[in-house]
Amino acid sequence: MRLSKPPALANEITAAPHSAIREITNRAVFIPGAIRLEVGQPSFPTPEHIREAAKAAIDQGWNFYTQTAGLMTLRERIVAKLQRVNGITCSPQEVVCASGGAGALSAAITAVTAPGEGILVPDPGWPNYFLMAAANNLDLLRYRCPPDNDYLPDLDHLDHLVNRRVRVLLVNSPNNPTGAIYPRRLLEALCSFAQKHNLWLIADECYDQIVLDPGDSCAIARILDDGRVISVFSFSKTYSMTGWRLGYAVARPEVADSIVKTLEANSTCTSTVTQKAAEAALDGPQDHLDHWLATYRLHRDQSLEILSKGRLSASLPHGAFYVMADVSSSGMSSRDFALRLLEEERVAVAPGAGFGVVGDRAVRISFAGTQAELKEGLDRLVRFAVRGTADRS
């Protein structure tokens, strides 16, 4: 019996690379004192009233299953938030809670696609999109969002990519990894594109409240309301609840029901304690965010100043908490740069190649950490990049 072999693994997921962010993270945890600029999570603690609500929920017996879509009391609060913050009008039956924004996105993609169909994703784009496509046996088509266009989508390239097998257009604004916020006129063009080609439009808006500069962007569901838009949000960034794992999708009832079925198959429901904590997050004070955003603006400006002094170009991010720094002058690929920077300078950043072809000249730097660590990490990064440039000359 020991000589027998198991069946082959699924080709698509076996061939897909791990997230480049996680590759660096998995190495950084074994390097004492490494400065962690690779992971996108706030350094601020989860607000106290949210933590206290979770403790109280355990003591009050909120330790059992809920509806797969989430507690009705939570979904009612999310409906109020969507109206107040995003200008989206919906019912609790159109809200589905999941394990983080990633869980909601993955379930939404599964609900509206079949194996062999295509999905259009931004390049650069979050590496998890690529894994979700592989897990669903989808044809991954990356539409360019080049730095010389402020990392906004190249609509001509997008039009060139579409074919009859394409089923989904995925849009991410504010964007991870670039920090780009798509102006309303561009979102309107993307909505028209989805209508023209009869595509589902999945809007990853997990950074919806991490907006650093005023602008004319808005929730996509406010522009297009014909039933094809699935909007995804998260508690992770707005409330520093990355490890609590709670996100939600918003879609028409029949679409939401298919998303629920997908979640029934893989998770039954999200953590009940986390759901009760999320209720407190929505009910409680929101003034923490003003302080956080002011800090992120300070960190962004500091990052750009240090990079500029080191003669490393970077575009101005208007949202999220990332900056893409062009390190091509070092003569290294972004992956080699990130791996050597971690090994030689003990600074972790995410290689741009992990986000697509367009990002290969750059590395993604998270400025969501502490100011002291950010400054020290960037000083080391610039020193390392300059040394690499000198070695080439």
Q: What pLDDT, in 10s, does the model give residues 79-111?
A: 999 999 999 999 999 999 999 999 999 999 999
Please give the distance of CA 389 from its chain centroid, rounded to a whole number. 32
Digit-coded pLDDT (tens) for 3-19: 788 888 877 888 888 89
pLDDT at residue 24, rounded to an integer: 96
pLDDT at residue 217, rounded to an integer: 77
Question: Which residues of the chain does CATH 3.90.1150.10 include?
Answer: 11-45+288-392
Q: Does residue 375 register a pLDDT over 60? A: yes
Range with the poorest average pLDDT among 17-26, 267-276, 295-304: 17-26
pLDDT at residue 336, rounded to an integer: 96
Digit-coded pLDDT (tens) for 142-154: 999 999 999 999 9
Q: Alpha-carbon torsion 332, 334, 335, 337, what sign?
A: positive
pLDDT at residue 391, rounded to an integer: 64
pLDDT at residue 261, rounded to an integer: 98
Scored b (16 or more CB within 10 A) or e, 14-31 reads eebeebbbebbbebbeee
Cα→Cα distances 205→82, 230, 333, 358, Å: 12, 10, 30, 21
- Find the helix or strand (DSSP H, E) in which 219 lies: none
Residue 188 in 3-state DSSP? helix
Question: CA 21 to CA 144: how far, in whole Å?
Answer: 20
Question: CA 205 to CA 189: how far, in whole Å?
Answer: 17
Digit-coded pLDDT (tens) for 171-188: 999 999 999 999 999 999
Question: Could you tell me the pLDDT band of residue 228, with boundaries at 50, 70 and 90?
Answer: very high
- The C-alpha torsion from 338 through 125 and 374 to 336, rounded to 10°, is 10
Higher pLDDT, 389 or 39: 39
Q: Which CATH number fits domain 48-283: 3.20.20.70, 3.30.2270.10, 3.40.640.10, 3.40.50.300?
A: 3.40.640.10
pLDDT at residue 1, rounded to an integer: 55
Scored b (16 or more CB within 10 A) or e, 343-368 reads eebbbbbbbbbbbbebbbbbbbbbbb
Digit-coded pLDDT (tens) for 306-317: 999 999 999 899
pLDDT at residue 186, rounded to an integer: 97
Q: What are phi and psi of 342, to 5 degrees?
A: -65, -45
Q: Does residue 223 register a pLDDT over 70? A: yes
Question: CA 253 to CA 168: how far, in whole Å?
Answer: 19
Question: Which residues of the chain does CATH 3.40.640.10 include?
Answer: 48-283
Digit-coded pLDDT (tens) for 184-210: 999 999 999 999 999 999 999 999 999
CATH 3.40.50.10420 fits 11-45+288-392, yes or no: no
pLDDT at residue 392, rounded to an integer: 57
DSSP string covering 94-162: GEEEESHHHHHHHHHHHHH--TT-EEEEEES--HHHHHHHHHTTPEEEEEE--GGGTT---HHHHHHH-
What letter would DSSP give residue 244? G
